[in-house]
């Protein structure tokens, strides 16, 4: 009988970390330790060992890494465009401390594999000025012009992870997320991302109603469902590829189109009230999945409509619990 592998998932109290913990337990038969500032908000963790740890403190990182084979570093101070554009200094400081401490702790613990989760926010702003943006290839990251705060730290941490791989012969992997969404994620309070925010607004709307949309609605993104995300993370971790790799879909949609899809799922006629004073990020961003297909022989398969259907129904159920009168809408 083969020995059960042991994994550490940091950020296991958050959205993707919680889904990854469940995936490693249910699909891959791992023993999993979770570490975060908090436990998952909407569902009990499946981690075998969950520890409340502030990973900005180095000794907590050492404790988290003790006795595990693989480290999936998802812990981060993050949120939607409203949050990351208004908190550059704390985000950069918190995430830099977490990432430097975790990769060093993993080195000292002699873990066999280490994965760092980066973001499409590292891509240059000068390549994302048009809504019909060309898909972003991994090599497009340089010359660098990342998003302020959050994006620059992500790019720095990518380099730090790769330097550790080179200098200490660590088996490191770097993945760049492109707008991951799905159920069991933040949908209100200011840290939610656009799919969750739109689902919440539509869930709270009447059958014929108007919702606020940040920006003019013509800005574009590509979106990746969380089940595909965690599958891709695991496949990359088991591969022999050590350069940064995109993980997303290459279907480009506008924010207005996203609203229309959610409205159809909800069976509501939703008008849009655009607020040009609110942050909207880069004009367009799309993932080039050419290398993802080459390296993993795989790419995300869940359609945006199918993924949003599951996400909307879950957010609708959460909203209805808080405001019972909305349950009949």
Residue 110, Ramachandran bin (φ over 0: left; ψ between -120 and 50: alpha; else beta): left
- Side by side, the strands of the sheet bearing 70-73 are 49-52, 31-36, 6-10, 70-73, 113-119, 172-177, 245-247
Per the CB < 8 A criterion, the answer to whether 107 and 171 are in contact is: no
CA angle 29, 12, 231 (to 5 degrees): 50
Looking at the DSSP assignment, which residues form a beta bridge with residue 273?
212
Long-range CB contacts for residues 213-216, cutoff 8 Å, separation at least 24: 213/255, 213/256, 213/259, 213/272, 213/273, 213/274, 213/275, 214/81, 214/82, 214/255, 214/274, 214/275, 214/278, 214/279, 214/280, 215/255, 215/274, 215/275, 215/276, 215/278, 215/280, 216/274, 216/276, 216/280
Q: Which of 38, 58, 50, 37 is nearest to 9 (CA)?
A: 50
Active site (annotated) includes residue 225: no
Place of tokens 């909203």: 319
Place of tokens 């330097």: 163
Per the CB < 8 A criterion, the answer to whether 227 and 19 are in contact is: yes
The one catalytic residue in 72, 123, 150, 312 is 150
- Which residues are annotated as catalytic? 150
């Amino acid at each position: 009988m083969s020995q059960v592998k042991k994994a550490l998932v940091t950020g296991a109290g958050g959205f993707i970390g919680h889904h990854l913990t469940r995936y490693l337990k249910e699909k891959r038969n791992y023993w999993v330790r979770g570490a975060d500032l908090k436990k998952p908000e909407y569902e009990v963790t499946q981690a075998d060992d969950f520890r409340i740890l502030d990973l900005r403190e180095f000794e907590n990182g050492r404790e988290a890494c003790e006795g595990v084979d693989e480290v999936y570093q998802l812990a981060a101070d993050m949120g939607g465009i409203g949050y990351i554009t208004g908190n550059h200094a704390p985000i950069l400081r918190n995430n830099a401390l977490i990432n430097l401490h975790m990769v060093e702790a993993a080195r000292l613990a002699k873990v066999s594999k280490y994965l760092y989760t980066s973001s499409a926010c590292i891509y240059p702003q000068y390549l994302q000025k048009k809504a019909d943006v060309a898909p972003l290839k991994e090599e497009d990251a340089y010359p660098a012009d990342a998003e302020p705060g959050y994006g620059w730290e992500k790019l720095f941490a990518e380099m730090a992870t790769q330097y550790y791989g080179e200098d200490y012969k660590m088996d490191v992997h770097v993945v760049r997320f492109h707008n991951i969404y799905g159920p069991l994620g933040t949908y209100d309070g200011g840290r939610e991302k656009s799919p969750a925010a739109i689902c919440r607004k539509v869930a709270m709307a009447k059958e014929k109603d108007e919702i606020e949309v940040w920006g003019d609605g013509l800005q574009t993104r590509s979106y990746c469902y969380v089940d595909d995300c965690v599958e891709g993370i695991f496949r990359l971790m088991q591969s022999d590829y050590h350069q940064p790799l995109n993980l997303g879909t290459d279907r480009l949609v506008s924010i207005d189109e996203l609203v229309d899809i959610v409205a159809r799922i909800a069976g509501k006629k939703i008008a849009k009230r655009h607020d040009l004073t609110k942050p909207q990020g880069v004009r367009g961003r799309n993932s080039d999945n050419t290398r993802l297909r080459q390296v993993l022989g795989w790419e995300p398969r869940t359609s945006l409509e199918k993924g949003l259907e599951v996400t909307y129904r879950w957010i609708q159920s959460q909203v209805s619990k808080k405001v019972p009168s909305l349950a009949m809408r």
